[in-house]
Structures are given as C-alpha cells and as structure tokens.
Amino acid sequence: MTATPTLTRMTTLIVTLPSQPSDTAALYDYVLTSDGRTVDAQSCAPLALLPAAGRAGEVVALVAAHHLSWHQVQLPKGTLGRRFYQEASSTRVRAVLEGLLEERLLDETSHLHFAIEPAPQADAPVWVAVCDRAWLQAALQALEQAGRPVSRIVPEFAPDSPGELLYVVGEPDEAQMVFAGRGGVAVWPLSAASVALLNWPETAGVVAEPAVVALAEQLFKRNVSLQQSAQRRLQASQSAWDLAQFEFLNSSRARTWKRVAESLGSLLAPRWRAARFAVLALLAINLVGLNAWAWKEQAVVKAQRATIRELLTSTFPKVQVVVDAPIQMAREVAALQQASGAPSGRDLETLLGAFGAVAPVGTAPVAIEFVTGEVRLKGLSLPSEALAAVAFKLKPQGYVASPEGDSLLLKQVAVP
C-alpha cells in the first residue's frame, strides 16, 4: 500500500475542486510544491487520501475554468474604497455587482459568488469572476472537515494571463479549449466545428496537455506546445487573484487564525518540552546579562559623579553640600576670578576682544549694552551674511552670537 504523502514545512498543496464535492467518491487532482516553482508530486485521489496538511503548509484551492464566468464592468464612482472588503462596505459593493450583472447572468445573483480582480482601479473597468456559491461553499467545507483548510482560492485561468494563448485541456473524450488573455477567459468544447468557428490565427500559440496534444495537432493542423497540467496549476497558484472575497473572506481569515492558534497550541505538547526549556533558558541568560550590563554602567556613572564631587570639595573646601557639581564649580571659579581681578570669559573686555578678533576691519558698534555675561552691540553696519559669519567664527571659542537686525547679542556658552 502506497503511503499518503505528508506536507513538509512551507509546502503548498494545490487542490483542484471537483464538480461534485459532496460525493464521497469524488476525486481531487492535487499538486505538491515546496518552493512554488517546481512540482514535487502530483496525483488524483479521494478526499480522505489527499496529503495531510502540515501546520506550516498552505492549501490552495484551484477553481477549474468551466466553473467560472468572467465579466468586465465599470463600477460607479466611489464604489471602491480602502475598506471595501469590510462587512459594511462589502454588502454595498455586492449589491452594486448584482445590479450590474443581473442581465448578463442566467442564474439568480443571490445564488452566485462574486470576486473582483486584485488591486482594481477606481476609474477603469474591472474584471469580476462569478461562480456558484453553494458549490464553492460545499467544496471548501469538505476540505476543512478533512483537515485541509484552504488559505487561498485561485482560478485556473485568469484575465491577467501573460500573452494571448489557447489552451487545450482535459481528456480526449471531454477535451476543452480555453482562451486566457487580457481580453478575458472563454471555454469551448474541442471539436472540428469549434476550431473552424474560432479560426485561431496561424501565428498565435496553442498549448496542450499530453493527453490531448495529438488531437489538438490534428484539429489545428499545426505543431502545438506541450505543457503538463501540474505545471499549469502551479503557475495558477502564483496568481494575484484570490476568490476568497465577501462572505468567503471572513471564512478564510477564521481558518487562518484557527491554524495559528493550533500551531501555538502545539508548542505546549510534550515533544516540544526541550525546546521550551531552551527558549526559557536563553531568555533568562539574556535577562541576567542585560541586568549585569546595566549594573556595570550605573556603577561607572556613580564613580564618575563621586570623582567630580571629590574634586569640587577638595578644590573649594567651603562647599559643604554638593547639589550640581559642574555648575557649583563654575560659580566658584567665576567668583575666584572676580576676587583676583583676572578677566573671565563673561567680562566686557573679553567679550569685546573676542568680537574684535573675528569682525571685519573697521567694524565698530554705535552703542553697547552690557549685562554680566552678555553684551549687545548695536548699529553694526554689516550685512546679515557677515553677521552670520561672525557668529560662526565665535562658536568654536565658546561664544554664542545671535544676529538681531543690525545688532549682535554675544554671550559665553553656559558651562554644562
């Protein structure tokens, strides 16, 4: 007995939805891929024998071309918004689609499911995919009950298919022709009458599956390109289309959250005990390391502060209480300079000397206002660019010069 393949990590299971999903004997075509580019396995099996979906895997439902009809419509202005998939807005969008497509569809619109093209443009016609809602709901429920919840729903062919190609698919007794391109998607039965009516250009491409390649060459009277059905389904799974919209969008989100919850719950299983202990140990080591590093940095800061306090009290013994050592030391130095008569950087002579050293030759203020630590020079006949240049040159010397019209306010930078 052949073992049922199991999805490995990051493996994608692409399942083609059958025409009769409620039939327990229905067969499901599936493709397995681990990288999204190559086919790892393909087969056809009943629902119960499909590969088991791994917790980290993804199940993509593929809707065959004959289950979908395609329509291009121009939506009224303002129909599409940033939140048109949300419940309140999606009801309005669905009502608009029903009104636009009611005359084009044979079935009642209430029995149908609609899906709008990805990234639709508000001012351009949009493609709408239509299928039977009950059929799609039954197919998704069957997969979910079998433990294969679907993450995305993609069409086998879509209007965004590159180029203008004609595909011949199926078995010789039920072969079909599928046109897919920017102009839409159309399906016809493969027969001599259909080929003659279609009148497909000689220069246009025809792609056929191995089972019908001989029949296609006979009817089209030309060589056709060969493509495996599994490769075509793999390409379809990479489409930007996702038919899980409106009422199926909420179901898709619920299934996704359920899978996330199951994945988190599985971490509590006994087989993950060693991994849990390892993670906890790693977190504990990092926490201890961070605390040790923080304690070391605090100790360095405290040592530096103690050194500064000691320097202040040893240099100026009369300071008994240390509140802010740098500011107190600056005050004591200023007082010492004043008592000794030595000029300081806050004196008028020093400020004027610094200005004179960088000012243009012949520059003299009309008036001078001096307050301890700052001087205002008025009536300087210098353009604003020259005043800015003076301020720039004074900054490295420890002075701040603020141009104010034709005046300049000069003061020493406060000692931190």
Q: Spell out the residues 6+ positions from residue 152 whose beta carbon is closer than 8 angstroms to its own.
A: 58, 60, 61, 237, 242, 244, 252
CB-CB contact of 32 with 87 (8 Å): no
* Identity of the residue numbered 371: V
Q: Spell out the residues 6+ positions from residue 50 whose beta carbon is closer than 8 angstroms to its own.
A: 4, 13, 15, 28, 30, 146, 148
The predicted pLDDT at position 392 comes to 81
CB-CB contact of 189 with 175 (8 Å): yes
The predicted pLDDT at position 10 comes to 64
Q: In what side-by-side order are the strands of the sheet with 407-412?
A: 367-371, 374-378, 407-412, 399-404
Query: Quick check: helix, strand or coil at residue 374?
Result: strand
pLDDT higher than threshold 90 for residue 345: no
In this predicted model, what pLDDT tens digit does every residue of 119-135 receive, in sequence order?
Answer: 888 778 899 999 999 99
The predicted pLDDT at position 253 comes to 52
CB-facing half-sphere around the CA of 26: CA atoms within 13 A: 18
Of 377 and 288, which is predicted with more confidence? Answer: 288
Q: Mean per-residue pLDDT for 294-304?
A: 88
Distance of CA 220 to the CA centre of its chain: 46
pLDDT higher than threshold 60 for residue 98: yes
The predicted pLDDT at position 218 comes to 92
Q: Mean per-residue pLDDT for 328-354?
A: 68
pLDDT confidence band for 3 (50 / 70 / 90) = very low
Of 22 and 273, which is predicted with more confidence? Answer: 22
pLDDT higher than threshold 70 for residue 141: yes
Tell me the C-alpha distance between 258 and 56, whole Å. 13
DSSP letter at 45? E
Distance of CA 131 to the CA centre of its chain: 30
Of 367 and 66, which is predicted with more confidence? Answer: 66
* Identity of the residue numbered 190: L
Of 377 and 199, which is predicted with more confidence? Answer: 199
Q: Mean per-residue pLDDT for 357-384?
A: 76
What is the value of pTM for the model shown? 0.58
H helical segments located in 316-394: 325-340, 348-358, 384-394
Least confident of 7-11, 113-117, 313-317: 7-11
Structural domains present in the chain: 1-113+130-158+239-266 (3.30.420.380), 270-341 (no CATH), 348-412 (3.30.1360)
Distance of CA 312 to the CA centre of its chain: 57
The predicted pLDDT at position 343 comes to 58
Tell me the C-alpha distance between 149 and 154, whole Å. 14
Q: In this structure, how many other beta carbons lie within 10 angstroms of the beta carbon of residue 145?
A: 10
Q: What percent of the chain has pLDDT over 70?
A: 83
Q: Mean per-residue pLDDT for 215-234?
A: 91
The predicted pLDDT at position 207 comes to 92
Q: Mean per-residue pLDDT for 16-28?
A: 89
pLDDT higher than threshold 60 for residue 12: yes
Least confident of 146-155, 174-183, 386-395: 386-395
Q: Mean per-residue pLDDT for 351-360?
A: 77
The predicted pLDDT at position 260 comes to 54
Q: Spell out the residues 6+ positions from residue 275 whose beta carbon is closer than 8 angstroms to its own.
A: 267
- Both tokens assigned to 151: 């993450």
The predicted pLDDT at position 337 comes to 62
The predicted pLDDT at position 177 comes to 93
Q: Nearest CA to 310 among 297, 296, 329, 327?
A: 329
pLDDT higher than threshold 90 for residue 307: no
